[in-house]
Amino acid sequence: MRILVVEDDARISRDVVTTLGAAGYVVETAGDGEDAWFRGDTEDYDLVILDLGLLKMDGLAVLKRWRSAGRSMPVLVLTARGTWAERVEGIDAGADDYLPKPFHMEELLARTRALLRRSAGLAASVIEAGPLSLDTRQMRVTLHGVPVVLSPLEYRLLAYLMHHKGRIVPAPELLEHLYGDDDAHEANALEAVMTRLRRKLGPATIETRRGFGYAIAASTA
């Protein structure tokens, strides 16, 4: 899953990026409002974590421009502003959740998982497809109840497919959400990760639709 962190405090940004990266997410950053608006308007993110007190363009203005342009990715607002009126303003501008500073990283992760589940139409932290189960909280994968050990890239790929189970995901979309804006990786890199993942989960778990992409059926046999 690909996340954009918009925060002009270098220490907070670094801590959030480290925490999200350790949880298996692809994380990119923006340090001011103009950069944030451009990235959110031109790139596809599964979630944006947005500070309101930004240079060049206020976070609320960024959020309003995204929503006016039809950008619908979930947005978690971070801010030191604590009044209820400001929280209402942020939600009315299009925020999906609100986390005041200072905050605990565990709560940030919990809200991140919840927003990603909600955007995928999922209710619980455990996503299942037949005998395959992915616990997004524990970063734990089981097949027929037996734990499966995955590398970070394998987990990231499986998590994205599981969040979009039942949908054919094109290879370029998978590459983007597997590696972020690092354009040094091509389709053969994706195929290599996919091959390793299939060895661990079984060749029929992830279906290839030639010319379309990859899919995990909603009820994998």
State pLDDT tens for residues 65-115: 999 999 999 999 998 766 677 778 888 899 999 999 899 999 999 999 999
Q: Which CATH number covers residue 132?
A: 1.10.10.10
Q: From CA 164, how far away is CA 46, in angstroms rounded?
A: 11
Whether 166 is covered by a domain: the verdict is yes
Last residue of a domain, one of 119, 140, 166: 119
- Mean pLDDT for the stretch of residues 117-125: 89
Amino acid 28: pLDDT: 96
Asked whether residue 110 falls in the same domain as residue 135, the answer is no
User: Are residues 131 and 189 located together in one domain of the fold?
Assistant: yes
Query: Does 113 fall in a domain?
Result: yes
Does 220 reside within a domain? no
Is residue 102, in this structure, part of any structural domain at all?
A: yes
Q: Are residues 115 and 147 in the same domain?
A: no
User: Does some domain include residue 221?
Assistant: no
Q: pLDDT grade, residue 147 (50/70/90)?
A: very high
Q: What is the pLDDT of residues 159-217, one digit of tens each?
A: 999 999 989 999 999 998 888 876 556 778 888 999 999 999 998 899 988 888 999 86
Same-domain status, 101 and 138: no
Across 3-10, average pLDDT? 96
Report pTM: 0.86
Residues 133 and 48 in one domain: no
Q: Examine the domain organization and report whether 142 and 71 are in the same domain.
A: no
15 with 32, same domain: the answer is yes
Average pLDDT over residues 38-49: 96
Residue that wins the pLDDT comparison between 123 and 8: 8
The domain boundary, picked from 119, 136, 152, lies at 119
Task: Write down the pLDDT at residue 40.
Answer: 96
Do 167 and 64 sit in the same domain of this protein? Answer: no
The CATH number assigned to the domain holding 53 equals 3.40.50.2300
**Same domain, yes or no, for 138 and 89?**
no
Chosen domain end from 119, 136, 163: 119
Instruction: Verify that 81 and 99 share a domain, yes or no.
Output: yes
Q: Domain tally for the chain?
A: 2
Classify residue 92: in a domain, yes or no: yes
Do residues 184 and 199 share a domain? yes
Residue showing tokens 């400001």: 86
Within this chain, do residues 43 and 83 fall inside the same structural domain, yes or no?
Answer: yes
For 87, the domain range is: 2-119
